Amino acid sequence: MTGAKDLFGGGVAVITGAGAGIGAGLARYAASELGMTVVLADVDAAAVAALRAELEEGGARAVDVVCDVRDPQAVERLAERTVTELGPVRLLVNNAGVEQFGYLWDTPVANWERLVSINVNGVFHGVRAFLPRMLAEPGRSWVWNLSSVGGVTAAPLQAAYIMSKHAVLAITECLHQEVELAGHAGHVHVQAVLPGAVASNIFESAGGVEDGDTAAAEGQRAAMLGIKAQAMDPLEAARIFFDQAAAGEFYLTSQSFVHDAMAARADTLAHRRAPVLPVGEFAVE
């Protein structure tokens, strides 16, 4: 059976939002365990510079690039620089994302627009900049778009985030079909990543609300931070994702409860039931 190192080893990986959390975990695993050259893209210059130094100290090859995925021209420059300086991209990971807590009607317009521009538009910009170059190369390549267990569920007080992850999942499913329709399914592979509870700083840095029920927004943040304490290590999640990708799976999931959420969503839709409030711990990455 072909393993992740056979498929990805020695290639170039571009990871947005690589400065922390899942992005950093994927970068560490790709560079240190698979021997990939990793392009670390993030708006946090200090974070990706520190990660690059860490990886290089361990003998891996990495490049840090400051890139705001909200800016299509910046993402285009990232693609052009990567291909020119490092060669064809074997793996593109559209990972950059932010969270938002609070009732939808309390959510500041600026927060909504920022979240959409990063979580949804950022994926589109990544696909539009990199995919034509990947399609033009004869070698096999992969595109991973980061959805979430939130992409197959509904949850109160996180509507903006949940909406964005449903959107990313839909983009990825349609893109998978389009690549096949265009005759490229044999060498360009599109996969959806649906993490469950994986440790990151997304909850600490999440937007809140300035007016309205601020207590509800912060209460949801506290609940998510409580779940983070038992979350999976990003490096372990990365290993699982790469192994599933190598096995040819489309939905890459970190934990079995994501499968349960997918089944529950299918059952809700099949029986046309209204969504109910989640019971017990609800973990979204």
Residue 208: count other Cβ atoms within 10 Å of its Cβ: 18
The catalytic residue positions are: 161
156-165 burial, b if ≥16 CB within 10 A, otherwise e?
ebbbbbbbbb
In whole angstroms, how far apart are CA 22 and each of 1, 87, 133?
26, 24, 25
